[in-house]
Chains A and B, each alone.
Chain A
Amino acid sequence: MRIAPRTISRFLASPTTRKGLDVPNISRQRPYSTHPPAARLNIPTDFSTTSLLAHSSQSALQNTELDAEVRNGTTKRMNLFQSINDALSLALAADESVILFGEDVAFGGVFRCSMGLAENYGSERVFNTPLSEQGIVGFGIGAAAEGMKAVAEIQFADYVYPAFDQLVNEAAKFRYRDGKEGRHVGGLTVRMPCGGVGHGALYHSQSPESLFSHIPGLRVIVPRSPIQAKGLLLAAIASNDPCIFMEPKALYRAAVEQVPIGSYTLPLSKAEVLKEGSDLTIVSYGHPLYTCGAAIEKAEKDLGIGIELIDLRTVYPWDKECVLSSVRKTGRCMVVHESMINAGIGAEIAASIQEDKETFLRLEAPIARVAGWSIHMGLMFERFNIPDVARVYDSIKQTVEY
């Protein structure tokens, strides 16, 4: 059915070739991470300097969304998989009704997100399931219906489709159809690694978030960083609505920042303005925010403009008010995401902007969408498919020069 996951996922998530993997390549540098020698825009993200990550304790604790106790605490350097592991550990420690399960989670998970948890919290609470996605989600729904906080893992978002019926017809509609009885499966959180990773091809690269944004009843969350992943995951687990939590796998090891060690949540369905600006609003979420950050830096310098960058964080139900008020101010908008343009998150945002009477009148340029083409992710073509700095830069230029 699929490639041996342990091998491929380590390979996928690791920024460097690991010892012991039989890769017949003498060069230490992977060919797909190189960039053309004269490139000015398409330079790989330097995660150690990006302003989207908190590189010091001080900057991490400045976050006003954290409560006072956490802000007065300390931080620890973590990458994305470590912060998810930290969040899961805190959730398991705080509430006995939390259980964690999926394919290969017991030994630590193919991306190391559940490392040490089975040993710490017992094999009854952190366990492997048979290889069946519909079974995993159905099982999670049943456990949540009986009051558990069920955190299910789908090994790759590409493999969530066998569970689509359980998510769409069951989890999303459970509260609605139970009516007065008031039972629900809000305790369910379904985690899944998503997004491109350089060489994941058709079935290790997908970002199916817009499929779930068409489903009332589900909350769809995509974090961009370790701090966010921890706070949003703890919020998803605490939420009384079923949540789809999509983890950009390319950031598992790459994104490293200082993460507050206390337990904290970040608000769901609330966007975050990462950077203020007056000429253009860019809306994005997850991994492409780093691409946007790099493109903005170049474009602001080259074009002498100020760009506002918004991280949606929750892509459905999304923070429409935040986006609309920004676009009313800037008069221009661009949406950037990895998944395909057709009926993607960008379509919903663009339509919402043009149908809001007040915002429509303020528009000075067509709303642009920079996203994956409406094709599948062919192995050799990923870097031409996923929005890169050049495409985002070009779209910024065209939008402000319209």
Chain B
Amino acid sequence: MKVPLQRLARRPQPFKAHPFLRPLHSQRWNSSLSQKPGAAGVRFPGAVDSKFTSALFFEHPSTYPAIPTYRCMSPDGDIIDPAFTPASDTLALQMYENMLSVSIMDVIMFDAQRQGRLSFYMTGQGEEGTCVGSASALEIEDVVFCQYREAGVFKQRGYTFEDFMSQLFANKKDHGRGRNMPVHYGSKALNIHTISSPLATQIPQASGAAYALKMQRLTNPNIPPRIVACYFGEGAASEGDFHAALNIAATRSCPVVFICRNNGYAISTPTLEQYRGDGIASRGIGYGIDTIRVDGNDIWAVREVTKRARELALKDGGRPVLIEAMSYRISHHSTSDDSFAYRARVEVEDWKRRDNPITRLRKYLEKKGVWDEEKENEARGRIRKEALMAFAQAEKEKKPALRCMFEDVYEEMTPEVKAQMKELKDVLDRYPEEYDVAEFEGGKDTLSQ
């Protein structure tokens, strides 16, 4: 909530002001809030602009229309508002190839998991538009927190097939040193924090990270303005961490864009069992956050909305923005899930055929004359070949050194852990037949002190 200037002016001066920092936040106890006799509005400290009413009336969500869903391209690939200009064809083609790349990788890796060649996988079918579209509107300096279904974000920011495959096979080139389950990607160079399994934990972290970026720019104006983008599903938004994050981001004016992928399901739980309000977007308003709902199958809409949200997040010293991107989870939740146990196959097929972010952009590109069947076949063949090459290469790489298992718990290995590493080495020495260490880089010797 904006504080009237006259209240700020009454704020006592700090007796030793910090040289770089202006006070941006008012403290309510510094100004006096009292009820004027006969006033039409309430001046309770908890709701300063509320008007009195003598009509007893409960607010009900049904008295408000559902928040509209912004789209700028029809399912046939036509731009709806002639005033809207999409980005260049070069970028459109790049975004299209990135969506295609993650969807092709998804099919290959899903099958590879079924063959037992990797332990786990999660596809992002149906949500390529949300991920690639939003990521295309961010600067590379912007910090990103993901949930796990955002391969498109990684691809759009420059993650290569080699990076994906190294992580998926947990080989010695894996940035995570073979510690995380597949699809828990992370990249410092691309400013994407490493994914963790606990849902929604990244959301308050994104608020804190955004506050850090704002503070760093306040103390050093040479740093370019940056935001944090934070992705999560509509199921994760039921966690307490979602509530904590949005509330703290609003009260501390953090430049963070929350991007909710509302794909209709959290594993088997449909949204009707997840919430009864108007989706996730309606909650943003309650926290005092600028909010928008967008068609996640419309990559231009997602890109435009994210671009505007980024600008808004940086305005007036920073503020949070909530984007709810609507889509449909075409894939199973993960390779450990058979979604036909809780939803009709025909429903999935219908979404896949009727409305899909990849086919929608393809129609747009074909209508502009920059894409056709021949280019499509060439691209699909080429991407598939690249992915399979990276797959084969990653699969045959050695696993990370066994020592990696003991390192990085603390900055330095503790005496306790050093002793335990030696204990493991001794067991491997005494029972060489019981363990296969050949696939690990350097074998058991890396456990030596």
Contact = CB atoms under 8 A, between A and B. Distances in A.
B208 A143 contact: yes
A248 B411 CA distance: 27
Interface stretch (A121-129, A256-264, A304-312, A387-395): A121-129
A284 to B, nearest CB: 20
Interface in B1-34: 14-18, 20-21, 23-25, 27, 29
Given A129-B248, A179-B177, A143 B14 contact: no
A104 B252 CA distance: 14
Contacts of A135: 204, 207, 241, 243-245, 247-248
Given A123-B27, A125-B21, A148-B215, A130 B208 contact: no
Given A130-B247, A148-B212, A170 B205 contact: yes
Interface in A122-170: 122-125, 127, 129-130, 132, 134-148, 150, 162, 165-166, 169-170
A119 interface: yes
Contact of B21 (A124, A132, A175): A124
Interface stretch (A3-11, A182-190, A362-370): A182-190
Given A184-B411, A216-B409, A169 B196 contact: yes
Contacts of B178: 179
A99 interface: yes
Given A177-B180, A180-B175, A147 B204 contact: no
A132 B198 contact: no
B334 to A, nearest CB: 19
Given A119-B14, A125-B18, A139 B211 contact: yes
Given A124-B215, A181-B186, A141 B25 contact: no
Interface in B222-275: 228, 240-241, 243-245, 247-248, 251-252
B14 A122 contact: yes
A181 B216 contact: no
Interface in A13-51: none
Contact of B208 (A150, A169, A179, A240): A150
Nearest to B197: A169
* Listed residue (B20, B186, B198, B248) with the most chain A CB atoms within 10 angstroms of its CB: B248
Given A122-B21, A146-B212, A173-B196, A317 B205 contact: no
Contact of A139 (B27, B176, B208): B208
Interface string B131-157: 000000000000101000000000000
Nearest to A240: B411
A179 B416 CA distance: 20
Interface stretch (B187-195, B386-394, B433-441): B187-195
Nearest to A130: B247
* Listed residue (A139, A147, A178, A183) with the most chain B CB atoms within 10 angstroms of its CB: A139
A217 interface: yes
Given A148-B215, A170-B198, A269-B414, A122 B17 contact: yes
A175 B203 CA distance: 18
A240 to B, nearest CB: 4
A381 interface: no
Contact of B143 (A130, A132, A146, A241): A146
Contacts of A106: 27
Nearest to A132: B244
B99 interface: no
A177 B247 contact: no
Contact of B188 (A132, A183, A186): A183
Contact of A181 (B194, B203, B218, B404): B194
A199 interface: no
Interface in A75-122: 96-97, 99, 106-107, 119-122
Contacts of A129: 248, 251-252
A401 interface: no
A159 B248 CA distance: 18
Interface string A194-237: 00000000000000000000001101000000000000000000
A302 interface: no
A132 B20 CA distance: 29
* Listed residue (B184, B208, B219, B251) with the most chain A CB atoms within 10 angstroms of its CB: B208
Nearest to B23: A123
A150 B216 CA distance: 13
A120 to B, nearest CB: 5
Contacts of B218: 124
B251 to A, nearest CB: 6
B120 to A, nearest CB: 16
Contacts of B180: 177, 179
B58 interface: no
Interface in A337-351: none
Contacts of B208: 138-146, 150
A69 interface: no
Contact of B207 (A139, A175, A180, A321): A139
Nearest to A118: B14
B113 interface: no
Contacts of B219: 96
Contact of B248 (A97, A132, A181): A132
Contacts of B414: 269, 317
Contacts of A184: 411
A355 B417 CA distance: 16
A135 B241 CA distance: 6
B280 interface: no
Contact of B410 (A99, A136, A217): A217
A217 B416 CA distance: 12
Contacts of A217: 409-410
Interface in B158-205: 174-180, 184, 186-188, 193-194, 196, 198, 201, 203-205
B156 to A, nearest CB: 19
Nearest to B247: A130
A176 interface: yes
Given A170-B205, A181-B188, A134 B244 contact: yes
A150 B211 CA distance: 11
B11 to A, nearest CB: 10
Given A132-B247, A180-B176, 10 more contacts: A120-B15, A122-B23, A138-B203, A138-B204, A142-B206, A145-B193, A146-B216, A170-B201, A177-B176, A181-B175
* Closest 7 pairs between A and B when the two form their complex, measured CB to CB: A138-B204, A142-B208, A135-B244, A142-B205, A179-B177, A146-B212, A139-B208
Interface of A: 96-97, 99, 106-107, 119-125, 127, 129-130, 132, 134-148, 150, 162, 165-166, 169-170, 173, 175-184, 186, 216-217, 219, 239-241, 269, 317, 320-321
17 contacts: A119-B14, A124-B24, A129-B252, A132-B243, A132-B244, A141-B204, A141-B208, A142-B145, A143-B211, A145-B193, A165-B241, A175-B409, A179-B179, A179-B186, A181-B176, A241-B411, A317-B416
Interface of B: 14-18, 20-21, 23-25, 27, 29, 143, 145, 174-180, 184, 186-188, 193-194, 196, 198, 201, 203-213, 215-216, 218-219, 228, 240-241, 243-245, 247-248, 251-252, 404, 408-411, 414-417
